Structure 1
């Protein structure tokens, strides 16, 4: 599916309701919408709110603010209760002409800020228009028809508010009553996959808009068709599907399309009177209500519609029925893309299952496609989507489950999402593999965080690092016989998933095993402050930026080059039948045990100048010391690390210089020391 605008229009819009007094929210949201590439904005100008205390001042500020950046479509609805026949905002005004008079006032006061004006919203919906008091819509037709006539007379263009749900008979009634004669556009609302069922009442954009076009052409062939609301709720965390629905909406045969909405609604705000109960209403945004971009917002802000289209041209889920591919969840990530490359170089077919939620990882997928072409089969989906997982692993020869929420800090901020991704996602993978005909082996990427903060291990502080007082631990590291002690939501979720994998091997006889990883680093890593610290440090050092150290910088980790990590995953896969039901530590071991300060000193040597640092307090769950004892893995598979940490860090620095800084100004290019 191509993310291309329909030839009948240019640009697309968002719907965003701004409530009176939301000055700060408006200031935050408006530049985000502009950065998305949107050209239009549909918002409401509530008649009831305008006449409430402070209403004039609010809209005097809001409309000029919005129209300075976007083509604004104000939707005028909601009767002031004092003027309503029912005493509610959904009732018809006692004097129907009052609505037209208010529209005329809006044109006088704000007309320079818009060319089109929408008359009411969802008039066949009881929550917006009380049709119980207007069963034949005669009041509505007189009210809106008169206002539309006056809008046209004044030289502006009226848009008829869309019925929701879509009702062809209602549209035809508007034609018979003469309303369609005096409007320039007719609205349409459609939310396929959210409220309407693709198998039920929703019959597709072409059919519904075609039906609308046939009715409108009878009364006013020159009127345009506008999709004034469409969207997709991510209440099931399916951000990828939201992007797909957005792409589909771009190509609908309408003159304008408005996507509902830019931001989620906070859970403590009623979407409509009495509606706090339906979670779908609260997750329609391209960003969360706190501002965190979902996949759709991130892609649009990275490059607009073109960026969305680029991403989904990478998707190629089809695969020959006779092929038993390697399936890698999280296959566009750092370890996943390196692991995929190792199999693809041997001529294997690989299914990359990835939600692309982590910024930058789609470049890894593009790299794989460029290098290996049609043997890369990408499935852009989330591991929380059980059906997608089941389809992806159906023919697998092996499943490497690397997808997950990977940061302790994120788990502390969003523990429920962390649990759903890491625990539920892993169960979906296990169930999919259990149902697959070939009974593929499952290799799970766990973490050393399952051992907790290790606060009971006494350490001795030296000038460079914290060392265990126990000579055996200092010599060998932490072994798998260490008791599990889940710490932080991330440790709990990964630990629970770890145990599920081991139990499925026992309870169902599945070939499944676990690798509990230390710090892996290397090419194709997009490190952040919260995860992937070696790459994060190098990126900031190469930019000449300050690096934040949490704690004293003497905490010790055994870092492992990704090529060695890939070799370990493959070695475990080769022996998974014999080693099923077992967990193994994976890290650089004592020979690659380093403190953060030691790594920073080596980075300074590589780039040829000091690295600036700043210190912050210790973070929850941070271990003073973790070095993996990998003796069990070595004995069971013959694997061992081969790349010394200094050589690996230099290799990563050179890759980052070539890939991330190749287009940087000459002043930023650095000569890296060997």
Structure 2
């Protein structure tokens, strides 16, 4: 019989939540690094383990003497006391029952005496029906387990603490009923439940939904202890396929589960060099259950919780998948919530197109661009919150697409040097996923790819002349026109390699599979809706820092030259390529502001000073890997083939961006200098 909770049991609808995080002995720095972010996420609780085996190991007591007060002094702490010291185990393993059953209760008593002021509840064991945590082969009827936990629970309750029975995994109602028959349920104040819907294959055939499983649990529990609470001591969703949006959705779903407490497993991914499940097998899902990566890079879930808590998370996850009318042929923009993507989408939507915005919202601020698009264009904007690395998740997006602009990418050279594999997975494999999804759809939809001038390498073979404010090439032809598409490719840095690989694959799909593709190798694009950072989008970043009165870091001497291009001109180029795809399929174009918009970093900074009306606090550092002394795109091919040209002079464009930032980012809190007449 299926039993569901009645509404009066839905205590978890208060939207409080906690996280699970295991800390290994000696992880002082990791603990100090993670704890502030866990608190910033709005978590009310933290569940961690207090290993009996580790406590008695060399250095263990000192470790927990530091850890438990450090955590319990900051957050409502639930220690999970488990793992038998092997020397005391009947099997010689930490999953075995102790030879002296009472020894576990004695240890719990010791923990309560030593650390009890830091918590109210204490969890007694973890996943007792899981062979890796309790060796039930040596305790087939669970008599030893029930005696051990029963003694500990009785004594903890007698001393004034509230015992929690560790959650079974997977949930087994027969085991749970046995715990009641043995009297264990009557001496605990709460029972744990573990469930990971959507993550483990083992649950696909048995998972019946939260209401069914918790209803069954409640029905059994009510027979033995009506006052006991049900806690979700572990639930989560692995992002091993890079579906961070689905993890965020599952978190919101879990908050509505009718339980008294919820612990999300976990805050941080497991580091790849740490064996999981005692090394008995490797499953990538084990390593990607965190809200942040193992090196503390926030996933969508953590970022949104830290930015605005559950309301912020609900706002984003509420965005629906596309609901297109039958026969519709939308244009798909990967990375469509980004700076260029949102401007391009707006241009297409203004002409009545349906646009699918495929974006993982990984970059802070881009959800504001998506909100702007939906406010302006309503139901013709179709957000799909997914990641191009998740091939299974993105394939349906391209089924009816009539054209694709592929802009989604990892965009920072610096990030690629720290995380080269992640950089490749996004830029290399992600591009293959898009191309294959288009090919599988069978509609021969054009694919126009946003590449980069970094495919030409550092250009260190060019002889440069250094002036007071810039570097210029000694070669007069390059100085007057810039770098053309016939420049040999010379990838450098992982970012240049991953984008270069993608660039070449896109071009090859026109040859190998007759998909009409084209590539635009971009210089520095700037303009409204850009959330510039130190690593990417430097023009906007400099302006934002200047308007905030904050220092600006310059890598190198600032004389490096780029041809900056306003985003309106870039959008016009992308649209021109799509409009003439039959003519230019399989071709590559350089896209930049050209010689008329070639400026050094120092020159841009001087112009920013004139806009904000005060000197800038500039600080210089070492050159960054792969940085070009000079790059100016020769966009003559775009002009010859398609009649495109840049129309916005860089000074006018810079003022336009400053005005937009003043109005939309700073809401009038800053004041620019009055407009000067600048070139049209």
Partner of 2:374: 369
Partner of 1:17: 22
Specify the SS of the correspondent of 1:131: coil
1:31-110 matched pairs, under 5 angstroms: 31-110=36-115
**Is 1:236 paired with 2:241?**
yes
Which segment is superposed worse, 578-587 or 453-462?
Answer: 453-462
CA contact (8 A) 1:608 1:672 kept: no
Partner of 1:434: 439
Partner of 2:337: 332
CA RMSD, 1 decimal: 1.7
**Is 1:584 paired with 2:593?**
no
Q: For 1:315-354, what per-residue CA distance to the aligned partner results, in whole angstroms no more than 9, with x for missing partners? A: 3422212221111000000000000111111222111000
Alpha-carbon separation, structure 2, partners of 1:48 and 1:215: 32
**Is 1:352 paired with 2:357?**
yes
1:148 to 119, 137, 153: 153
1:425 to 402, 411, 430: 430
2:515 to 496, 506, 510: 510
Alpha-carbon separation, structure 1, partners of 2:394 and 2:283: 27
1:553 to 554, 558, 580: 558
Partner of 2:546: 541
Q: For 1:36-83, what per-residue CA distance to the aligned partner results, in whole angstroms no more than 9, with x for missing partners? A: 000001111112222333333332322222122211111111122232
Alpha-carbon separation, structure 2, partners of 1:70 and 1:57: 21
Alpha-carbon separation, structure 2, partners of 1:419 and 1:560: 27
Specify the SS of the correspondent of 1:317: coil
1:253-402 matched pairs, under 5 angstroms: 253-275=258-280, 277-402=282-407
Alpha-carbon separation, structure 2, partners of 1:233 and 1:386: 16
TM-score (norm 2): 0.95
Alpha-carbon separation, structure 2, partners of 1:28 and 1:663: 36
Shift of 1:587: 0.5
After superposition, the Cα gap between the structure-2 partners of 1:610 and 1:23, relative to the gap in structure 1 and judged at 3 Å, is: same
1:516-527 matched pairs, under 5 angstroms: 516-527=521-532
Stretches of structure 2 lacking an aligned partner (at least 5 in a row): 1-9
Alpha-carbon separation, structure 2, partners of 1:501 and 1:222: 63
1:603 to 593, 601, 608: 608
Specify the SS of the correspondent of 1:92: coil
Shift of 1:151: 2.2
TM-score (norm 1): 0.96
Alpha-carbon separation, structure 2, partners of 1:198 and 1:137: 24
Alpha-carbon separation, structure 1, partners of 2:280 and 2:530: 44
CA contact (8 A) 2:50 2:80 kept: yes
2:213 to 208, 221, 225: 208
Partner of 2:118: 113
Specify the SS of the correspondent of 1:188: strand
Q: For 1:596-620, what per-residue CA distance to the aligned partner results, in whole angstroms no more than 9, with x for missing partners? A: 1111111111111112211112111
Alpha-carbon separation, structure 1, partners of 2:289 and 2:14: 24
CA contact (8 A) 1:475 1:590 kept: yes
Q: For 1:575-629, what per-residue CA distance to the aligned partner results, in whole angstroms no more than 9, with x for missing partners? A: 0122110001110111111111111111111111112211112111111111111
Shift of 1:372: 1.3
CA contact (8 A) 2:12 2:261 kept: no
Alpha-carbon separation, structure 2, partners of 1:232 and 1:321: 33
1:148-187 matched pairs, under 5 angstroms: 148-187=153-192
Stretches of structure 1 lacking an aligned partner (at least 5 in a row): none
Partner of 1:470: 475
Alpha-carbon separation, structure 1, partners of 2:610 and 2:671: 15
Shift of 1:357: 0.6
